[in-house]
Structure 1
Amino acid sequence: MFVIHSNSSEREVRFLDRRGDEFMVEIQGRGVTATQWVSAFADPKGLARWMEELGANGLPWKGVSSWATLEGEFEISATCTASGAVTFRVTLSGLPGSDEEWRVSAGVGCELGQLAALAAAAHQFFEGSEA
């Protein structure tokens, strides 16, 4: 498991379990709770690489950096202010095309200096031993 904790609230994004190229993501905190198994079959270690690229940033960046599963049931993006405040925007969705389709999106804030530790945790979660 690895977790992105908010530095301004109790909100967090948890990567709870991994089975091959699938993993479980949970958004938890005031006003929001959502959990979804997602498949990264086209790029199972892509999220770890994306987090490592963010973690390599020693300086604030401009624009939005993002990663998503091929089918779009999980999306994550990151922005950074000039002062080093990082915001992750995480979106989970399910049952696409059905009458009961759903989508939950939430932000989680942290600091630029936390990204290297988050990248290491993502690497361990996604590239460590299979669950």
Structure 2
Amino acid sequence: MSRFPIISSSSNEQFIFSERDGEFFNFEVVGEFVQASRRVTTYTDEFGIANLFSKLSEFSSPWDGAESWKSLEGEFEMAVTCNLTGHVTIQVKLTQWNGGSEDWHLTVHLNTELGRLQQMANEARAFFNA
């Protein structure tokens, strides 16, 4: 699988995983008012995101707290929560350190549903070859 998109259940926003090359992949946020991308490394945890979605797919009801994954270098963080009505929020933080005054940080939330997590887990495993 060359792309792993996650499409919001409440807007046109998308999170797109693409261009996987060894321990690297490209992550893109695309929405009406935001667009950003970042090359991410999975060094030391090649299947971490696939494992995160596999764990999430095991939930048949809302859970407490956040399930998360963070890259070793900290350029990518993902945290997933679910409220009592089964609405799932995926929060992604992207960071670019340029060693000076042009660093940037972006936090974006995407809404989805508890019932879509199994499909996402299958797609994540296919994308990361896990």
Give the TM bin, normalised by the shorter chain.
Answer: over 0.9
Unaligned runs of 5+ in 1: none
Q: What is the rounded CA distance, in whole Å, between the counterparts of 1:63 and 1:33 in structure 2? A: 28
The alignment partner of 1:88 has SS state of strand
Distance (whole Å) between structure 2 residues aligned to residue 96 and residue 66 of structure 1: 25
Which of 101, 118, 121 pairs up with 1:119?
121
* Equivalent in the alignment of 2:49: 47
TM-score normalized with structure 1 length: 0.94
How many residue pairs match? The answer is 128
The AA in structure 2 aligned to 1:111 is E
TM-score (norm 2): 0.94
SS at match of 2:36: strand
Percent identity for Structure 1 against Structure 2 = 37
| Separation in structure 2 between the aligned mates of residue 96 and residue 85 of structure 1, nearest angstrom | 36
Question: Could you say what secondary structure the match of 2:53 adopts?
Answer: helix
1:96 deviates by: 4.8
Q: Indicate how the Cα distance of structure 1 residues 60 and 42 shifts in structure 2: closer, same or farther if over 3 A, else same.
A: same
Tell me the distance in 2 between the aligned counterparts of 1:81 and 1:97: 38
Match of 2:35 in 1: 33
Q: What secondary structure does 1:53 align onto?
A: helix
Residues in 2 aligned to 1:104 and 1:33: alpha-carbon distance in whole angstroms: 10
State the secondary structure of the residue aligned to 1:52: helix
User: 2: CA distance between counterparts of 1:80 and 1:105?
Assistant: 18
Q: Give the aligned CA root-mean-square deviation in angstroms.
A: 1.1
C-alpha displacement at 1:120, in angstroms? 0.3
Structure 2 residue corresponding to 1:99, chosen from 74, 93, 101 = 101
| Aligned-partner SS, 1:118 | helix
* Residue number in structure 2 paired with 1:23: 25
Match of 1:12 in 2: 14
Decide which moves more: 91-100 or 77-86.
91-100
The one-character-per-residue Cα deviations of 1:10-56 (angstroms, maximum 9, x if unpaired) are: 00100011000101000110211110101111101111011110011
Which sits farther off after the overlay, 87-96 or 32-41?
87-96
Offset from partner CA, 1:47-78 (integer Å, 9 cap, x none): 10111100111111011111110111001101
